[in-house]
């Protein structure tokens, strides 16, 4: 299992946190998700055999936020 810390720009309320948490959690291979509005980041645990850190960044972008 791997873990990645993704910087997320553009979250402005807990609804954003909930939406992003849901999208990441629904992604195959994701095993844990912790999104912080205050820190502007998402810590994601995942199985590298099923999903990549870059694919996770794409999920964040598809949610309407900037990932880096």
The residues of the shown chain that bind ligand 9UX, judged by CB under 6 A, are 12-13, 15-16, 19, 64
Reported in sequence order, the residue ranges of 1-68 that DSSP labels E, i.e. its strands, are 2-9, 30-36, 41-46, 66-67
Q: What H or E segment, with its residue span, contains residue 65?
A: none
CB 47 within 8 A of CB 31: yes
**Residue (20 or 30) nearer to ligand 9UX, CB:** 20
Radius of gyration of the chain (CA): 11
**Residue (19 or 52) nearer to ligand 9UX, CB:** 19
**Residue (18 or 50) nearer to ligand 9UX, CB:** 18
| Least separation in angstroms between CB 30 and ligand 9UX | 20
| Least separation in angstroms between CB 12 and ligand 9UX | 4
């Amino acid at each position: 299992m791997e873990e990645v810390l993704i910087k997320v720009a553009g979250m402005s309320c807990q609804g954003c946190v909930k939406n992003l948490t849901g999208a990441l959690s629904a992604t195959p291979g994701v095993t844990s998700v912790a999104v912080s509005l205050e820190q502007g980041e998402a810590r994601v645990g995942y199985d590298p055999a099923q999903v990549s850190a870059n694919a996770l960044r794409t999920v964040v972008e598809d949610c309407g936020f900037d990932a880096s």
